[in-house]
Structure 1
């Protein structure tokens, strides 16, 4: 049968368009886009969680940092510094004020045993500028793969995300019942995009 091709326009990256999930009479469909709205896959969340968890044989499961996620109220904090730095007019970068304010809000919510795990591709800059008042460590010091970092992020109880799909997934895959997730109130600096669909229910915009 003839293949159907559907292209998601840049201005639709964060929107949910139900028609994209209906192949119609075609049994083959090629989708091209970002699909950055949980409504596309929320109904298969349990399947995704099962597919993306660390397997029992994973060496990461036996590390001290994973044990901390079980014993402490770990807070994943993600700093994205890279392409967003080069294209600030489009992406923008969450400020240090955002991170400090978000961390303060989580700690003051009643977290009893906070421990911050920082994820970043620019640890030198973050170590120089971000000074958490509670115990903390850097995921980069553990020499993890990208998937292991994502898994570790999802094991944390609370999340302070950057305007990044990496930390978005880390937070969304987190399974803590009373988790707190804080995200930048402006996902992109450019006003050409309606980013309201990027936020999951219960997330706090700051």
Structure 2
């Protein structure tokens, strides 16, 4: 058995799950996702493989009769027992490590902690994962009902702008600032280069008001104020994806099954120092744009 510790929001969870899937196939073993706090968003929104450990967790620790504190206390005991029985060591993987070197050293009976933000961490099973990671019918139907009108647009361009939690979150990384929000010029530059009268621009952000003000000059726009799984599907159904340095839009673009074009910020979080961080974050066919 291998274990992976869950951290972060939906995009980070998708990276961690994808690596768990890869390891379970490569090592021919089972996996457990070690979580703390709220139920896993991944299982809420996606049809994904569920193993015995998932069902044990659901039966005993997500039961409506348990108080939240009691449930979490029992889960800690359960996970501690599982690690004593099946796991011999814990390995922490840093985002600066080369994924290919990390993959050469994977072993069963290990708990892995990290974010695994590269396609290389699961590329051998990428096609299987893309078939597996589908949106649950409930959310897919809601999207189709509310956004059927988008089908009338010739070419949909989604633009993801990550703001609120990037303002003061990254000082510990030493990447030039604690604020790693991409400048608006990154988006203006791209829009200028690719603009066509038939483009319909869909803006997605966790802070939509300043985005509306900044891009008010554009015709043919929609500024989303939807929930995260709807925003995810807007990107999932685009012809052109302009993503942020965000695992959320990374995955929406990656799972998009259209013949899409993906534009992404060069160096990802390391754009201020021109240092790629995380290492090998992008698929080879994505177009990396310098951030000025």
User: Do residues 165 (structure 1) and 250 (structure 2) align?
Assistant: no
How far does residue 70 in structure 1 lie from its aligned partner after superposition?
7.1
Q: Which residue of 1 aligns with 2:100?
A: 17
Structure 2 SS opposite 1:126: helix
How far does residue 186 in structure 1 lie from its aligned partner after superposition?
3.4
Distance in 2 between the 1:128 and 1:72 partners? Answer: 25
User: Is the deviation greater in 41-50 or in 72-81?
Assistant: 41-50
Q: Which residue of 2 aligns with 1:37?
A: 118
Query: Structure 2: any 5+ residue segments left out of the alignment?
Result: 1-85, 171-176
Q: Which residue of 1 aligns with 2:266?
A: 185
Q: Which residue of 2 aligns with 1:72?
A: 154
Distance in 2 between the 1:46 and 1:106 partners? Answer: 29
How far does residue 95 in structure 1 lie from its aligned partner after superposition?
1.5
CA contact (8 A) 1:106 1:180 kept: no
CA contact (8 A) 1:60 1:66 kept: no
Higher relative contact order (CA 8 A, sep 6+): 1
Structure 2 SS opposite 1:93: coil
Distance in 2 between the 1:70 and 1:16 partners? Answer: 42
In structure 2, the CA distance between the partners of 1:120 and 1:158, relative to structure 1 (3 Å rule), is: same
User: Do residues 100 (structure 1) and 168 (structure 2) align?
Assistant: no
In structure 2, the CA distance between the partners of 1:42 and 1:59, relative to structure 1 (3 Å rule), is: same
Q: Which residue of 1 aligns with 2:288?
A: 205
In structure 2, the CA distance between the partners of 1:10 and 1:118, relative to structure 1 (3 Å rule), is: same
TM-score (normalizing by structure 2): 0.58
How far does residue 176 in structure 1 lie from its aligned partner after superposition?
1.8
Q: Which residue of 1 aligns with 2:89?
A: 4
How far does residue 122 in structure 1 lie from its aligned partner after superposition?
0.4
How far does residue 90 in structure 1 lie from its aligned partner after superposition?
4.2
How many residues matched? 195
Distance in 2 between the 1:35 and 1:66 partners? Answer: 35
CA contact (8 A) 2:143 2:230 kept: no
How far does residue 71 in structure 1 lie from its aligned partner after superposition?
4.7
Query: Structure 1: any 5+ residue segments left out of the alignment?
Result: none
Q: Which residue of 1 aligns with 2:201?
A: 116
CA contact (8 A) 1:6 1:20 kept: no
Cα deviations by residue, 1:75-114 (Å, 9 ceiling, x for unpaired): 1101100222114704522222110111222325xxx731
Distance in 2 between the 1:181 and 1:151 partners? Answer: 15
| Bigger Cα Rg | 2
How far does residue 124 in structure 1 lie from its aligned partner after superposition?
0.9
User: Is the deviation greater in 128-137 or in 116-125?
Assistant: 128-137
Q: Which residue of 2 aligns with 1:81?
A: 163
Q: Which residue of 1 aligns with 2:213?
A: 128
TM-score (normalizing by structure 1): 0.80
CA contact (8 A) 2:143 2:233 kept: no
Q: Which residue of 1 aligns with 2:40?
A: none
